[in-house]
Amino acid sequence: MVTVFANNQLMIAEGAVSVSITTDPVPMGGADRIAGVFHVHYSFGTGLTMTVAVEGSNDGQTWITVDSGTPTTAAGDIVPIPTLPTEAVHAFLRVTFSLLATGANTNGICFDYHAIIDKS
């Protein structure tokens, strides 16, 4: 099943600040892996770093980072992002996107993150 975690998501950070967005939890429904694609529509500013963290939970309250990646932020980039190992089965998944800006500039990025959640 393809799950859209972010679609035309805009994030802006100003100065040396980290901004984060966390998606709503998605029930795994017996699935045990995820493979996602991060697509950059556009970015602006200099010195920005994006981190995508896939988090798992069995109770929907306590979250652990299962895997994370730091995709490039150039427009047009399409980057595969973490795959949940089959031995780490969780009842719920969510994704946290973090944008870190450096210097005194205003930095931003517009992106998609779509993932296939399935059973091995």
Kindly give the confidence (pLDDT) of every residue in the chain, 120 residues in length, as a single tens digit, with 9 standing for 90 and above. 789 999 999 999 887 788 999 999 999 888 877 888 888 998 888 778 888 988 988 888 999 888 887 777 777 767 776 566 545 667 899 999 999 887 777 888 999 999 988 887
> How far, CA to CA in Å, does 89 sit from each of 10, 25, 40, 75?
31, 15, 29, 34
Question: Cα-Cα-Cα-Cα dihedral of 90, 56, 9, 6, to 10°?
Answer: -10
**For the chain, how many residues are written?**
120
Question: pTM value?
Answer: 0.86
Neighbours of 48 (CB within 10 A): 21
CATH for 2-118, options being 3.60.150.10, 1.10.260.40, 2.60.120.260, 3.40.50.720: 2.60.120.260
Domain residues of the chain, as ranges?
A: 2-118
